[in-house]
């Protein structure tokens, strides 16, 4: 069986999870200490944000050395031990691969920016003029001796690696099948194999759609590069699994990725589900007084999902290190049913560390390591309500980021002990998912109730019917609404959920799973 079939992932931001040596920064040994916590929650996969040597101008998404871990997290051997300890507990680990750019301190870039051409002169995209525009691409001039402007993939400190251009129109561009473009792809293959041989189980791939620049609107050239890389890697490591940061499964899955993420883009279906970040007064679907119905999500999600029903997975997240934590938008009851919904949908679910215990989005925090508004979602994990929240024994002033001043009710210890807490709800729903074949990762999804203007909605997965009422008002759902002929038998619920003569009565903000035959 493919190990993704029953996978449920937990995303760890390594600098903020658990500090084992009292320097105020999370590390590999700290993660090892907390593997049992992750296992107890029910997760059997980890996505760990970049942990490689870096000047940290973008929290590690600016890699200086792909084959060396950052000293602040430990050594390569510590990471190897983390893989081993995770595997002992049945947990797989995805590393974060950043293939589109490096740090401007990477040896390749240092070589490529010299006035005299060196071994890596074509590893990045450089123009052959030092004044003007690098076509429609973002370029940086005046920072190096080389006669040229380098193209950036994200921040100025993240020069774009050269995978070539689909339609080469300028002398300074490489074509996609040039030796230098192929050499870049080969170098990335080598990095992947290096970590897989150490025990990694796969990768979350950063900006996976960003490889080939210019004119590659349908991403066919980028897909071609990936097909080659992934085939090459899987020849040696057939069990390796890859999830792309792309949000276009119809492109990414045929390119060889095993999963793709639905990303939070302002105003898209996922944004309207939990956040609604573009509105002055956010009113996402899961807010109890929202006027939205589930179609605001489904109109975006379903066409993408349908396209990939057979071939793979379109994954839903509670949040990630780039999004505002959902607790900023939804109260705890709303989050319970929102997370239950995410955890009963197809695709491997991803829980962002701390979302399961209700950690807050600390909006006002000053930017750290290129985090900007994302910084507030990256604060230390709140293990208990002690002075340092159980994160670190260091003086609080030297913590990577400040701990939330209000830990009450929002720390793992308290959440675990409290019946019906958010943590326990998440744990129950993960267990429910795992013990029901119908809820696992498969193509089986049928939205039977999605009436415009109606707040409650329902979907079938195999012999299970899931009914969700995100509204503050109670409602009734009868069998014709959800196209069933038998009496639904309640299996699991959150909030006030009853069945009476075949009618399902859903209390305010409630969630129910029923067996149908
Ligand atoms: C997406 C990552 O998730 C984000 O944190 C990073 O800043 C950019 N890619 C650039 O690598
Ligand atoms: Ca540490």
Res. 313: pLDDT tops 70: yes
What is the position in ligand 1's atom list of the atom closest to the CA of 321?
A: 5
Q: Name the band, by pLDDT with cuts 50, 70 and 90, for residue 517.
A: confident
Token pair of 271 as six digits: 């944004």
Centre of ligand 1 from the C-alpha of residue 206, in Å? 6
CA distance linking residue 395 with residue 381, whole number of Å? 16
Same domain, 469 and 402: no
Q: Is the CB of 154 under 6 A from ligand 1?
A: yes
- Which ligand has the nearest atom to the CA of 72? 2
Same domain, 481 and 506: yes
Res. 437: pLDDT tops 90: yes
Centre of ligand 2 from the C-alpha of residue 98, in Å? 23
Residue 306 lies in a domain: no
Probe residue for ligand 1, chosen from 49, 57, 58 as the CB with the greatest number of ligand atoms within 8 Å? 58
Residue 203 lies in a domain: no
Centre of ligand 1 from the C-alpha of residue 368, in Å? 14
Same domain, 359 and 401: yes
Residue 200 lies in a domain: no
Residue 463 lies in a domain: yes
Same domain, 410 and 324: yes
Last residue within a domain, chosen from 403, 429, 455: 429
- Which ligand has the nearest atom to the CA of 22? 2
Mean of pLDDT values over 167-192: 96
Q: Name the band, by pLDDT with cuts 50, 70 and 90, for residue 24.
A: very high
Same domain, 410 and 472: no
Same domain, 117 and 76: no
Which tens digit of pLDDT belongs to each residue from 59-97?
999 999 999 999 999 999 999 999 999 999 999 999 999
Mean of pLDDT values over 171-198: 98
Question: What CATH number is given to the structural domain containing 342?
Answer: 3.20.20.80
Bridge partners (DSSP) of residue 447 are 459
Q: Would you give the end-to-end CA distance of the chain in angstroms?
A: 27
What is the position in ligand 1's atom list of the atom closest to the CA of 154?
A: 10
Mean of pLDDT values over 237-263: 97
Q: Name the band, by pLDDT with cuts 50, 70 and 90, for residue 374.
A: very high
Mean of pLDDT values over 227-238: 98
Mean pLDDT of the chain: 96
Residue 180 backbone phi and psi in degrees, to 5: -70, -35
Which tens digit of pLDDT belongs to each residue from 456-474?
999 999 999 999 999 999 9
Same domain, 483 and 403: no
Q: Name the band, by pLDDT with cuts 50, 70 and 90, for residue 15.
A: very high
Same domain, 51 and 151: no
| Ramachandran class of 512: left when φ > 0, alpha when ψ lies in -120 to 50, beta otherwise | beta
Question: What CATH number is given to the structural domain containing 477?
Answer: 2.60.40.1180
Bridge partners (DSSP) of residue 497 are 506
Probe residue for ligand 1, chosen from 159, 322, 371, 373 as the CB with the greatest number of ligand atoms within 8 Å? 322
Mean of pLDDT values over 106-132: 97
What was the pLDDT predicted at 312?
67
Centre of ligand 2 from the C-alpha of residue 30, in Å? 7
- Which ligand has the nearest atom to the CA of 205? 1
Burial class (CB in 10 A: 0-12, 13-18, 19+), 246: buried
- Residue ID of nearest Cα to ligand 1 atom 6: 61
CA distance linking residue 449 with residue 161, whole number of Å? 47
Distance (Å) of CA 181 to CA 171, 174, 254, 400: 15, 7, 21, 38
Which tens digit of pLDDT belongs to each residue from 207-220?
999 999 877 889 99
Percentage of residues in the chain with pLDDT exceeding 90?
94
Q: Is the CB of 207 under 6 A from ligand 1?
A: yes
Q: Is the CB of 322 under 6 A from ligand 1?
A: yes
Res. 375: pLDDT tops 90: yes
Give the residue numbers spanning the domain of 149. 101-160
- Residue ID of nearest Cα to ligand 1 atom 5: 322
Do residues 53 and 68 touch, judged by C-beta distance below 8 A? yes
- Residue ID of nearest Cα to ligand 1 atom 11: 61
CA angle 431, 43, 335 (to 5 degrees): 70
What is the position in ligand 1's atom list of the atom closest to the CA of 98?
A: 11
Res. 308: pLDDT tops 90: no
Q: Is the CB of 98 under 6 A from ligand 1?
A: yes
Last residue within a domain, chosen from 139, 160, 181: 160
What was the pLDDT predicted at 31?
99
- Those residues whose C-beta lies under 8 Å from the C-beta of residue 448, and which sit 6 or more positions away, are 458, 459, 460, 465, 481, 482, 483
What was the pLDDT predicted at 134?
86
Mean of pLDDT values over 381-406: 97
What was the pLDDT predicted at 362?
98
Same domain, 83 and 122: no
Distance (Å) of CA 451 to CA 191, 297, 447, 505: 49, 13, 10, 17
Provide the 8-state DSSP code for 191.
H
CA distance linking residue 72 with residue 56, whole number of Å? 11
Q: Name the band, by pLDDT with cuts 50, 70 and 90, for residue 307.
A: confident
Same domain, 417 and 471: no
What was the pLDDT predicted at 442?
74
Question: What CATH number is given to the structural domain containing 155?
Answer: 3.90.400.10
Same domain, 51 and 106: no
Q: Is the CB of 151 under 6 A from ligand 1?
A: no
Do residues 81 and 32 touch, judged by C-beta distance below 8 A? yes
Percentage of residues in the chain with pLDDT exceeding 70?
100
Residue 188 lies in a domain: no
Which tens digit of pLDDT belongs to each residue from 261-284?
999 999 999 999 999 999 999 999
Last residue within a domain, chosen from 394, 429, 464: 429
Centre of ligand 2 from the C-alpha of residue 399, in Å? 10
Mean of pLDDT values over 141-159: 97
What was the pLDDT predicted at 156?
97
Q: In this structure, which residues have their CB less than 5 angstroms from ion ligand 2?
A: 19, 21, 23, 25, 27
Three-class DSSP category at 93: strand
Same domain, 339 and 408: yes
Do residues 429 and 407 touch, judged by C-beta distance below 8 A? no
- Which ligand has the nearest atom to the CA of 371? 1
């Amino acid at each position: 069986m493919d190990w993704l079939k029953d996978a449920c992932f937990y995303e760890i931001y390594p600098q903020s999870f658990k500090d084992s040596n009292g320097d105020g920064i999370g590390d590999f040994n700290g993660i090892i200490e907390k593997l049992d916590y992750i296992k107890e929650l029910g997760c059997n996969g980890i996505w760990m944000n970049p942990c490689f040597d870096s000047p940290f101008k973008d929290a590690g998404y600016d890699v200086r050395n792909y084959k060396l871990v950052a000293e602040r997290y430990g050594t390569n051997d510590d990471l190897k031990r983390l893989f081993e300890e995770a595997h002992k507990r049945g947990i797989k680990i995805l590393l974060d691969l950043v293939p589109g750019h490096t740090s401007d301190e990477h040896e390749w870039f240092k070589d490529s920016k010299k006035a005299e051409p060196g071994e890596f002169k074509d590893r990045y995209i450089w123009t052959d003029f030092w004044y003007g525009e690098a076509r429609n691409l973002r370029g940086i001039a005046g920072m190096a001796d080389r006669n040229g402007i380098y193209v950036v993939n994200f921040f100025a400190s993240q020069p774009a690696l050269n995978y070539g251009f689909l339609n080469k129109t300028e002398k300074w561009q490489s074509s996609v099948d040039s030796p230098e473009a192929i050499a870049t792809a080969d170098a990335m293959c080598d990095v992947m194999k290096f970590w897989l041989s150490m025990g990694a189980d796969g990768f979350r791939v950063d900006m996976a759609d960003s490889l080939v620049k210019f004119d590659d609107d349908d991403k066919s050239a980028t897909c071609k590069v990936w097909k080659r890389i992934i085939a090459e890697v899987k020849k040696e490591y057939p069990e390796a699994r890859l999830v792309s940061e792309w949000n276009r499964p119809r492109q990414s899955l045929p390119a060889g990725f095993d999963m793709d993420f639905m990303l939070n883009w302002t105003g898209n279906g996922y944004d309207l589900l939990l956040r609604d970040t573009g509105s002055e007064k956010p009113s996402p679907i899961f807010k109890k007084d929202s006027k939205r119905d589930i179609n605001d999500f489904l109109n975006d999600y379903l066409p993408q999902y349908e396209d990939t029903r057979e071939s793979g997975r379109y994954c839903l997240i509670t949040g990630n290190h780039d999004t505002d934590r959902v607790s900023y938008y939804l109260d705890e009851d709303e989050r319970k049913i929102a997370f239950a919904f995410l955890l009963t949908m197809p695709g491997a679910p991803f829980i962002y560390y701390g979302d399961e215990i209700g950690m807050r989005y600390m909006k006002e925090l000053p930017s750290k390591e290129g985090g900007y508004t994302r910084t507030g979602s990256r604060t230390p994990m709140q293990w208990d309500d002690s002075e340092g929240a159980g994160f670190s024994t260091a003086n609080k002033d030297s913590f990577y980021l400040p701990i939330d001043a209000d830990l009450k009710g929002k720390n793992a210890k308290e959440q675990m002990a409290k019946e019906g807490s958010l943590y326990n709800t998440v744990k129950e729903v993960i267990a429910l998912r795992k013990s029901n074949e119908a809820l696992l990762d498969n193509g089986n999804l049928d939205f039977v109730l999605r009436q415009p203007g109606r707040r409650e909605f329902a979907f079938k997965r195999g012999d299970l019917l899931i009914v969700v009422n995100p509204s503050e008002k109670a409602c009734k759902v009868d069998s014709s609404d959800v196209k069933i002929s038998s009496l639904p038998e309640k299996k699991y619920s959150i909030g006030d959920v009853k069945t009476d003569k075949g009618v399902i009565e859903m209390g305010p903000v409630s969630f129910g799973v029923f067996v149908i035959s």
